[in-house]
Amino acid sequence: MRVSRYFMPVLREDPAEAEIVSHRLMLRCGMIQQAAAGIYNWLPLGFRVLRKVEQICREEMERAGAIEILMPTIQPASWWKESGRYEAYGKEMLRIRDRHDREMLYGPTNEENVVDIFRRHVKSYRQLPLNLFHIQWKFRDEIRPRFGVMRGREFLMKDAYSFDLDYEGAKRSYENMFVAYLRTFRRMGLVAIPMIAESGPIGGNMSHEFQILASTGESVVYYDAAFEEIDFSVDEVDVGRLTSLYAAVEERHDPEKCPVPPERLKKARGIEVGHIFYFGTKYSRPMGATVSGPDGREVYVEMGSYGIGVSRLVGAIIEAHHDEKGIVWPESVAPFKVALIGLRLDDEACRKMADGLYEKMLNAGIEVLYDDTDERPGSKFTTMELIGIPWQVVVGPRSVRQGVVELKHRATGESFELSPEAVLNRLAG
């Protein structure tokens, strides 16, 4: 992408309304723009990141055996009356009437919807286990939408729903998602600690929240200092050890019953990026979702649901990856892999070399943002540091004279002088 042809409305000044760093940087970089309280436009740079986060969630769900579907944003109220949640959900639910005066709602979550799909098509235990997921916008009329996409009213969620014949099966499905979540967050460069959590309006009696420690987080959490010794960057975290350690959100933390000695207990703030629930037959029973078991008897299907805040993650990743100059994207979710910065493009030789390298990068399948404008060098560098693309490649008069370009790593500040061919080799793949 050429900057001269792109739409990237970078702000010169810090926006006054942003209270936390991720919100400030998302606005400054022109990633999002508010439409109404807690409702956002995703501009090109932000949308690219959102898609990458979404794709990692999708790949890890599929790796874990879940199957993708797409349920609607608008649902009939009748399902929620069947499950008994219609009244209970209260003012957070956006209730809508259509032209025939039928009661509808903008889905805050999809348990009822997925049970309706299940009950029409699945009849036998042989079709189990089953896990269906989708990635879809939700609406919750939060009292205090704030911190940009962190607590929105409209937000993108990955939500998966598991169906099993019995408790043992449901527990396996829950643990399967637990492990998939650790992988998902690790791929985004995040350490998310699983914590014992409240199940709230989703219900059930087993629930974990995945929390990223950050001083700007909205949750207060308690955890065993031993978590700090776990290496979350390795491929297979020891789940047995992880679940044997104590970590709980404030609402579930009971100082009387806490097994961790006070000197090892840590209190911190966290961002809830995922939440998983086991709730058994809470929805299958009132909505009549049964399967015939091996003995021919009809049983209510055992369920769990598993959410990831996809749009919230974009903010959470920035909270975890920034410095005083701007965002420092992990490569896996960066909007572009490479920022190609052309200097003195009014000079024909410089222009030719920069354009040529850009073409070669495109041909090699490298995601590159090419600053081909006639802005001052200082301003080009500042913008690229701000938007945090992992690799910068600088082409200028010296490149023309000496046949070298500068390759700079945004995260470490390290820089190398290499031939254009060597740079291409390093960045491809």
Enumerate binding residues for ligand P5A (CB under 6 A): 109, 140, 142, 151-152, 155, 157, 159, 202, 272-275, 277, 305-307, 309, 311-312
Indicate the helix (H) or strand (E) that contains 172.
helix 167-187
Minimum CB distance to ligand P5A smaller for 86 or for 381 = 86
Task: Please tell me whether the peptide bond between 44 and the residue prior to it is cis, using omega within 30 degrees of 0.
Answer: no
Tokens for 385, please give them.
């540091």
Minimum CB–partner distance for residue 320 and ligand P5A (Å): 14
What is the distance between the alpha carbons of residues 425 and 419, in angstroms, rounded to a whole number? 10
Residue 91 or 97: the one with the smaller Cβ distance to ligand P5A is: 91
Contact 303, 128 (CB under 8 A): no
Report CA torsion sign: 178, 181, 187, 193: negative
| Least distance (Å) between residue 5 CB and ligand P5A | 32
Residue (of 162, 171, 41) closest to 111 by Cα position: 162
User: CA 44 → CA 1, 34, 40, 47, 311, distances in Å?
Assistant: 11, 14, 13, 5, 14
In the complex, what is the shortest distance from the CB of residue 115 to ligand P5A, in angstroms, rounded to a whole number? 12
3-state helix, strand, coil in the chain (%, to 5): 35, 30, 35
Which of 75, 311 has the CB closer to ligand P5A? 311
Q: Which residue is nearest to ligand P5A (CB)?
A: 309
Closer residue to ligand P5A (CB): 148 or 396: 148
- Backbone φ, ψ for residue 43 (5° rounding): -85, 170
**Which of 159/302 has CB closer to ligand P5A?**
159
Nearer to ligand P5A by C-beta: 40 or 246?
40
The distance of closest approach from Cβ of residue 350 to ligand P5A in the complex, given in angstroms and rounded to an integer, is 45
- Least distance in angstroms from the C-beta of 215 to ligand P5A: 18
Beta carbon of residue 276, minimum distance to ligand P5A (angstroms, whole number): 7
